[in-house]
Amino acid sequence: MKIFLYASCFFFLIKMRILFIHSDFIEYSVKEKALENPEPYDKKSERIEEALVAFVSVENKDNENVAIKGAKEIADVADKINAKKIVVYPYAHLSPSLAGPSTAIQVLEKLRNELSNMGYDVTKVPFGWYKSFTISCKGHPLSELSKQIGGEEEEPEALRKENTIKTYFKILYNKKFYDINEFDFSGHEKLKEFVDYEISGTRAVQEIPPHVKYMKSLEIADYEEGSDSGNMRFYPKGKLIKSLIESHITNTVMNYGAMEVETPVMYDYEHPALKSYLQRFPARQYTVLSGEDRYFLRFSACFGQFLIAKDSLMTYKQLPVKLYELTRYSFRREKHGELVGLRRLRAFTMPDMHTFTMNIDQAKEEFMRQYKLSISVLKDFGLDLKDYEVAIRFTKEFFDNNSEFIFQLEEIVNKPVLIQIWEEKFFYFVLKFEFNFVDNVHKAAALSTVQIDVDNADRFSINYIDEKGEKKHPLILHCSPSGAVERVIYAMLEKAEMQKKNGIKPSLPLWLSPTMVRIIPLSEKHVQDSLRFLDEIKKEGIRVDIDDREITLSKKIREAETFWVPYILVIGDKEISSSTLTVRDRYSDKTNEIDLENFIKMLKEKLRNYPYRPLNESERLSMRVKFS
């Protein structure tokens, strides 16, 4: 079974490391503080004879279970060498990924208790001090050993729960639920692929998804070997497209009433509010060191916005309150083999809005608006309802109280949707939807999503003041109206490939085309006059360029076509004298005659309501750098 989480799930690495020395004696003395608040300690030094010394590193995400396992390992060694005395010596240098001090102290204390309870004479060397020590190693075969406890990925609580909570899938169509096996998928082949992908896992495909070749050949983006995998470089054309997408989403969300904020990209592992969130949703984070302090790179805007909301004063009169940020970037250290082109990245740009609502009615109302907003945003990218599959997931309790609401969601898209129902609440949400894009190699990727979060206001101490003047926790909607921006580009390119397979020229929406109009002078002598046309078009806010290179006309046409330029104008004597243009139109795949004025009018009409940015390269092709 697969679970789509808003925040991806990370694993705890359980890896306490222990170095054993069977000693004649060990003697240590405490020098000075290594931490601000070390474990209290009153003696200056100590000497222990005939002891098994266990140097222990507590690692990132270790917990008390590891301490119990560790104690068993130590006891096991102690019995083999017949040692009665055990020294637990905190020793950071065994591990590259240490736990925070508070965790370490806790785990070591647990370790000591366990060993005491087993009847050993345990000495625990204090944590958080610089110490000198002298040790005499006995030198027999078992006197020096090292162990790594666990070393396997342990399922976090949320995932363990997954296996015990009942969940099932259905298809919902015209207010009727169907079992997956009973539903007739004819006419809904993509949904079938999505359901297969969801439930029975993936098919092995030996094919690189086609968007990868387009991302390179259109000079949009490419892999950057100089960075970590999944961190892309964007070329001028790609950066232009990406910026336009970002502007459009931001404009749309702000028109919807969200307030744009900006929050840090990294957060303290030791921060109490974040800690419980991380514990519950451990992810594969990037870790950043600032001196000795460890920070994780955000994997969504939740942290930053929740921390703002926690410190803000909201009253019932102001709700719903919407905070928005376009995260550039969010980071998830996805597994190496998972990273393909623009489908999944380790650093990605994610529009992320959180809506704080009073109660379930207000939450539902906003949910519905955001559902429609997501449909409309995707449409602006040329992704229609037929291009993606809808999944709606909820708890049984939510459905029992809100069945009509669920039916409405289905009615709006007017096509069968995948339903997942949980017997009881699972993670933090009671209802979510996603729009999933199924690509040319039959893989699904989530785009838009909205969730109703009933847990995190409590966890982050986010409150609003109600009519009676009392503090209450709001319900929080998580919304990404488009999904990751890179993933939007991926979906557009994959869709273009599908069109190509159906005999339609692949293209991008006009407003996202790096070049909207390409002017091709018939020969060198037409360049000067062509520039006049260029200026006329350019001043209307249309991205136009000119292929002034000394190559053949055919070649220029061919190149404009390979870059998916929507409109190609060849300027020769005829055009210059008559001012009637011959326009090669990619969308209709026809060549039309039209005068300049009407041509511009037609383009401006199509570009209305979309953001504009100028060309991000020279308007003269002869002056352009090649990037692919």
State the first-to-last Cα distance of the chain, in angstroms, to the nearest integer.
41
Please identify, using beta-carbon distances, which residue of 201 and 469 lies nearer to RNA: 201
* Beta carbon of residue 177, minimum distance to RNA (angstroms, whole number): 23
* Beta carbon of residue 259, minimum distance to RNA (angstroms, whole number): 23
* Beta carbon of residue 378, minimum distance to RNA (angstroms, whole number): 13
Please identify, using beta-carbon distances, which residue of 22 and 526 lies nearer to RNA: 526
Phi, psi of 240 (to 5 degrees): -60, -50
* Beta carbon of residue 589, minimum distance to RNA (angstroms, whole number): 9
Which residues sit opposite 51 in a β-bridge? 23, 85
* Beta carbon of residue 212, minimum distance to RNA (angstroms, whole number): 6
* Beta carbon of residue 327, minimum distance to RNA (angstroms, whole number): 11
Please identify, using beta-carbon distances, which residue of 104 and 278 lies nearer to RNA: 278
Quick one: which of 321, 349, 352 has its CA closest to 258?
321
Please identify, using beta-carbon distances, which residue of 467 and 524 lies nearer to RNA: 524
Please identify, using beta-carbon distances, which residue of 76 and 224 lies nearer to RNA: 224
∠ CA 250-335-350, rounded to 5°? 5
∠ CA 480-323-332, rounded to 5°? 45
* Beta carbon of residue 137, minimum distance to RNA (angstroms, whole number): 30
Please identify, using beta-carbon distances, which residue of 39 and 155 lies nearer to RNA: 155
The DSSP output letter for 43 is -
Would you call 434 helix, strand, or coil by DSSP?
strand
Please identify, using beta-carbon distances, which residue of 261 and 553 lies nearer to RNA: 553
* Beta carbon of residue 472, minimum distance to RNA (angstroms, whole number): 28
Please identify, using beta-carbon distances, which residue of 229 and 247 lies nearer to RNA: 229
Please identify, using beta-carbon distances, which residue of 129 and 388 lies nearer to RNA: 388
3-state SS of 464-484 is: EECCCCCEECCEEEEEECCCC
Residue whose pair of structure tokens reads 């503080």 in the numeric block: 33
Quick one: which of 283, 310, 311 has its CA closest to 297?
283
* Beta carbon of residue 91, minimum distance to RNA (angstroms, whole number): 24
Distance of alpha carbon 549 from alpha carbon 519, whole angstroms: 11
Please identify, using beta-carbon distances, which residue of 67 and 149 lies nearer to RNA: 149
Please identify, using beta-carbon distances, which residue of 102 and 202 lies nearer to RNA: 202
* Beta carbon of residue 561, minimum distance to RNA (angstroms, whole number): 3
* Beta carbon of residue 62, minimum distance to RNA (angstroms, whole number): 18
Quick one: which of 134, 140, 138, 142 has its CA closest to 26?
134
DSSP states of 515-562:
-SEEEEESSGGGHHHHHHHHHHHHTTT--EEE--SSS-HHHHHHHHHH
DSSP states of 118-155:
TT-EEEEPPSSEEEEEEEEE--STTSEEEEES--SEEP
Distance of alpha carbon 218 from alpha carbon 415, whole angstroms: 34
Distance of alpha carbon 616 from alpha carbon 244, whole angstroms: 12
Containing H/E element for 104? helix 101-117
Q: 178: exposed, middle or buried (C-beta count within 10 Å: 0-12, 13-18, 19+)?
A: middle
The DSSP output letter for 94 is G
